[in-house]
Structure 1
Amino acid sequence: MVQPLGYLKESASQTAGPYVHIGCTPNFTGIHGVYDHDLGSGSLVNEQTRGERITIRGRVIDGAGTALRDALVEIWQADADGFYNSPSETRGKADPNFFGWARCPGDMETGEFVFETIKPGRVPFRDGRLMAPHVNFWIVARGINLGLNTRMYFSDETQANAEDPILARIEHKVRVPTLVGKRDGDTVTFDIYLQGENETIFFDI
């Protein structure tokens, strides 16, 4: 039986802010007593975590070149051996001392987000080819109707980046650098541009 067209209408989309921090990071906003700590806050590692320790720093920058001060950024990534801390991981056992996911609100003055993690191992693409080491990002903020997904690759992985099947699918190669974090020692800087000349590539997933 055919349903009438007005039976199930799509709900209107709304932006994530300004209440996203209240719901996702109440302690960060000064609302204490709801949770002992904000879910996903803090480091992805502990003293027993395997792998090379790195710090990821960056900002979410709008079309006018201004860092957003109310962005919320989440990352997820493989461990040092290329396994995800997920029930759907069937290739092997992930490092039990690596959480694999974290959430960080941008600093309310500078807009900077910071993650303490490890450099991920290479993960196979669905056809078996190895992808370059990368970290997945999800970004929400006031004015963004749908969360934005992107990736950060590493500037010290030139050969692996050249072999990566996802990067190979990008038609305009001049935009590939928007997905590459700049490595300096144990710090990787990755600024995410929402619009403009340096607009970051976002993925429809």
Structure 2
Amino acid sequence: MTSRLHPTPGQTVGPFFHYALPYDGDSELVPASSPGAIRFHGRVLDGSGAPVPDALIELWQADASGAIVQQPGSLRRDGWTFTGWGRASTDNAGHYSFSTIAPGAVEGGAPFFALTVFARGLLDRLFTRAYLPEDEAALAVDPLLNSLNPDRRATLVAEADAQGHAFDIRLQGRDETVFLTFPGHGAAH
């Protein structure tokens, strides 16, 4: 007699990120001393505005010319190959930070960082974008931003600062970050 396997409910993720996933250079897409290097950083906050100390952020981005890296990336950073991907854990205050370059625009949209968020209490990862604020004309015509309610767009725009760009990710509550969906990953909110 053959027994049938039935799907099981999703399980809460983590908190195991600080132990299992970090590796040397994970958040350093380019060395901080590289020409054009910027710091992309922020905080992950829960619905009460409290920091989430055990989250993990993955960053995906185009290079400075807007080209998406097509060759396989490497978990081993070699100091000169730009892979377009990085991973950063949050610290006890909910802060994360990447050393990278500013991405160029892809396919006529505004330049952005694609982010994936893993954190305690999440049944699945969350997807979002952090747009660069400098090119207001590109932001005004970006297809994704234009698909959103105008009062929600600001949750996807980073702020320029002295080192690069700051972007806080709010998981719930007031000014919750807009999260995106992809086929098979539920609905956008």
Q: TM-score, normalised by structure 2?
A: 0.84
TM-fit CA distance, 1:19: 2.1
TM-fit CA distance, 1:40: 5.8
SS in 2 for 1:166: helix
Residue in structure 1 matching 2:59, options 61, 75, 78? 75
**Counterpart check, 1:192 vs 2:164:** no
Q: Distance in 1 between matches of 2:33 and 2:81?
A: 6
* Residue of structure 2 equivalent to 1:41: 26
How big is the alpha-carbon RMSD for the aligned residues of Structure 1 and Structure 2? 2.2
* Residue of structure 2 equivalent to 1:52: 36
TM-fit CA distance, 1:138: 0.4
SS in 1 for 2:143: coil
Q: Provide the aligned length of Structure 1 versus Structure 2.
A: 174
Name which one, 1 or 2, has greater alpha-carbon Rg: 1
Q: Is the 8 A contact 1:79 1:118 kept in 2?
A: yes
Sequence identity, in percent?
38
Q: Distance in 2 between matches of 1:200 and 1:190?
A: 10
Q: Distance in 2 between matches of 1:153 and 1:47?
A: 21
* Residue of structure 2 equivalent to 1:183: 160
SS in 2 for 1:55: strand
Q: Which runs of 5+ in 1 are unaligned?
A: 26-37, 89-95, 125-129
Q: Distance in 2 between matches of 1:47 and 1:19?
A: 27
Q: Distance in 2 between matches of 1:47 and 1:39?
A: 14
* Residue of structure 1 equivalent to 2:103: 120
Q: Distance in 1 between matches of 2:70 and 2:33?
A: 19
* Residue of structure 1 equivalent to 2:123: 145
Q: Is the 8 A contact 2:40 2:167 kept in 1?
A: yes
Question: Residues 12 and 164 of structure 1: is their aligned pair in 2 closer, same or farther, counting only changes over 3 Å?
Answer: same
**Counterpart check, 1:165 vs 2:137:** no
Q: TM-score, normalised by structure 1?
A: 0.78
SS in 2 for 1:54: strand
Once the two structures are superposed, residues 145-202 of structure 1 have per-residue CA deviations (whole angstroms, 9 ceiling, x without a partner) of 10000000012121111111111111x1101000000002332110000111110000
Mean alpha-carbon deviation: is it higher for 79-88 or for 61-70? Answer: 79-88
Q: Is the 8 A contact 2:32 2:38 kept in 1?
A: no
**Counterpart check, 1:62 vs 2:46:** yes
| Superposed structure 1 runs of 4+ greater than 6 Å apart | none
Q: Distance in 1 between matches of 2:51 and 2:44?
A: 6
Question: Residues 47 and 175 of structure 1: is their aligned pair in 2 closer, same or farther, counting only changes over 3 Å?
Answer: closer
Q: Is the 8 A contact 1:154 1:182 kept in 2?
A: yes
* Residue of structure 2 equivalent to 1:35: none
